[in-house]
Amino acid sequence: MLAGIGFRPITRRLGFRVMALLSVALLPLGLIAVMQTRALTNEIQTRSQLSLIALTRNAAAEERQLIQRAFGAARVLSEMIDLIADEPEIGRASCRERV
For 30-87, how does the pLDDT look when each residue is reduced to its tens digit (9 = 90+)?
999 999 999 999 999 999 999 999 999 998 998 999 999 999 988 887 877 777 777 7
Shared-domain flag, residues 16 and 54? yes
Q: What is the pLDDT of residue 52?
A: 96
For 77, the 3-state DSSP assignment is helix
22 and 44, same domain (yes or no)? yes
- Domain carrying residue 49: 11-59
**77: Cβ–Cβ under 8 A, 6 or more apart, which residues?**
95
Q: Judge whether 46 lies within some domain.
A: yes
Q: What is the pLDDT of residue 1?
A: 45
Among 11-15, 22-26, 78-82, the range of highest mean pLDDT: 22-26
Other Cβ atoms less than 10 A from the Cβ of 76: the count is 13
Residue 88 and residue 81 in contact, taking contact as beta carbons nearer than 8 Å? no
| Neighbour-count burial for 39-56, b at 16+ CB within 10 Å, e otherwise | eeeeeeeeeeeeeeeeee
Do residues 69 and 92 both lie within one domain? Answer: yes
